[in-house]
């Protein structure tokens, strides 16, 4: 799957259903029939929506961890806590399970933000707070993460 592009604002109904924006649905069309995995994010108060193929790649990596190592076992338990398989219905809606709505403090207005090969699902207010907080040190972060790699592609 190619990298996903875009940030989309939409609404969640009282049952926790969201209508996938047409532009995002089009990007996901090659993997819609395979389903998705929805989980809590590790570092932020949001959810992560993995196409099943991307989830399987990640699980192959995690499956290589030695479960007889206590830290590995604890990591696997915490990483997979609250993981749910979800599908997009015939009308293009996705149901966010109640426990994940509570975890991400999702109200009515949400943001779907592409994050390379997954989609982050945020409560709109929390998303804006996270972006505002990150803006202050993004230049330093960008330099630290991307500034050290002088490869032949000439990315600037």
The rounded distance, in Å, linking the Cα atoms of 152 and 14 is: 51
Tokens standing for residue 79: 């990483």
pLDDT in tens, 14-30: 999 999 999 999 999 99
Q: What is the mean pLDDT of the chain?
A: 90
Write the secondary structure of 34-60 as one string of H (helix), E (strand) and C (coil): HCEEEEECCCCCCEEEEEHHHHHHHHH
- Residue 26: which of 1, 49, 47 has the closest Cα? 1
The pLDDT, as a whole number, for residue 152 is 57
Tokens standing for residue 127: 């998303």
CATH topology of domain 7-146: Chemotaxis protein chec (3.40.1550)
Q: Residue ranges of the domains in the chain?
A: 7-146
Q: What is the pTM for the complete model shown?
A: 0.87
CB 117, CB 3: distance < 8 Å = yes
The pLDDT, as a whole number, for residue 50 is 96
């Amino acid at each position: 799957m190619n990298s996903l592009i875009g940030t989309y604002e939409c609404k969640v109904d009282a049952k926790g259903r969201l209508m996938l924006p047409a532009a995002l649905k089009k990007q996901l069309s090659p993997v819609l029939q395979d389903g998705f995995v929805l989980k809590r994010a590790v570092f932020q108060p949001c959810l992560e929506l993995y196409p099943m193929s991307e989830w399987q790649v990640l699980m192959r990596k995690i499956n290589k961890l030695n479960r007889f190592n206590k830290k590995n076992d604890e990591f696997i338990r915490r990483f997979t806590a609250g993981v749910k398989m979800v599908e997009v219905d015939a009308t293009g809606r996705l149901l966010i399970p109640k426990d994940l709505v509570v975890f991400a403090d999702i109200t009515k207005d949400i943001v779907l933000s592409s994050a390379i090969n997954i989609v982050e699902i945020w409560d709109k207010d929390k998303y804006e707070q996270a972006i505002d907080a990150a803006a202050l040190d993004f230049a330093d972060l960008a330099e630290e993460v991307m500034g050290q790699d002088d490869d032949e592609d000439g990315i600037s």
